[in-house]
Amino acid sequence: MSETVQAGRDGEVVETHGTSIEEAVSAALTQLGITRDQAEVEVLSAGSRAVTGERMSAGEARVRVQRIDDHTAKARGLAEELLTRMEIPCRVSVRRGPARDGDGPRPVILDISGDDLGLLIGWRGETLRALQTTLNLMMGEEDEFGRRVILDVERYRARREDQVRELALRLAQRVKRSGERYTLDPMHAYERRVIHLTLADDEGVRTESSGREPARRVVIHPTGPAQGGPEPRFGRPRPRGSSDRPF
């Protein structure tokens, strides 16, 4: 497998590929001469199974790996200490999230993995958000690049964002078909942001947030007349009223 080495803000960055994410990460760690606990991993492509007759590269995974910086190491150390005091056996690994504004600082994401971690998530992620707030308070002032620390448990947050994104696309189609605005139930700030970003390039709708916390919600407006067409098929009947519960 081939490697690409480049200079990053925090040091050497290696990109590798392999038949699996684990193989690609292992190759990068060997190249950098570090262990997994010292590394920050960004999955560029999860890969897929190669089809018979195709080149192996069609199904390869690709990752970008670098040594974690002092800010990230401090965040992970505090998270591990917090979880140890809570007597929750788990593992904390590091990955880098996308920039919030395209070219802004990329947040540090601490992935917590282990068995029976539902307690860390809580109802609709309330406990997880409380832990994240606590950790950022323990970190004190943000680092010079303005990065915040995001906690995720068994990729719960990532899955939730996918669900909100799918909901936004479905409701946008409904709004364009009916020509009527749609108001969602109150959502957390990061969920509202997912909806705004998902529909930002859809010229058929516009979104806005209304209300005050904790009842702040997203409203999806049509930008033109009703397009008509058949009622979209949803996995469950629409609840009474103008709102929709995403979960």
Model confidence over 35-46: pLDDT tens digits?
Answer: 887 888 877 877
Q: Which DSSP symbol is given to 176?
A: H
Chunk the chain into consecutive blocks of 10 residues (it has 247) and report each block's average pLDDT, rounded to whole numbers: 53 85 88 85 68 50 85 89 89 75 70 86 86 87 67 87 94 95 90 93 95 90 86 48 43
> Would you state the structure tokens that stand for residue 33, as one six-digit string?
């001469």
Rounded-to-integer distance, Cα 159 and Cα 165, Å: 10
pLDDT at 192: 92
State the SS3 of 89-134: CCEEEEEECCCCCCCCCCCEEEEEECCCCHHHHCHHHHHHHHHHHH
| Closest-CA residue to 76 (of 94, 89, 95) | 94
| Cα four-point dihedral sign 65, 127, 197, 48 | positive
pLDDT at 209: 95
What are the structural domains of the chain? 3-67 (no CATH), 70-154 (3.30.300.20), 159-222 (3.30.1370.50)
Cβ proximity of 183 and 242 under 8 Å: yes
Cβ proximity of 210 and 192 under 8 Å: no
Q: Which class for 118: exposed (0-12), middle (13-18), buried (19 or more C-beta within 10 A)?
A: exposed
> Would you state the structure tokens that stand for residue 132, as one six-digit string?
């994240």
Cβ proximity of 68 and 39 under 8 Å: yes
Cβ proximity of 104 and 48 under 8 Å: no
Rounded-to-integer distance, Cα 15 and Cα 41, Å: 10
| Closest-CA residue to 2 (of 67, 66, 60) | 60
Q: Which DSSP symbol is given to 53?
A: T
| Cα four-point dihedral sign 96, 66, 147, 9 | negative
Rounded-to-integer distance, Cα 32 and Cα 36, Å: 11
Beta bridge partners, 13, equal 6, 66
Q: CA dihedral in degrees (220, 226, 232, 236; nearest 10)?
A: 50
Amino acid letter, 21: I
pLDDT at 11: 63
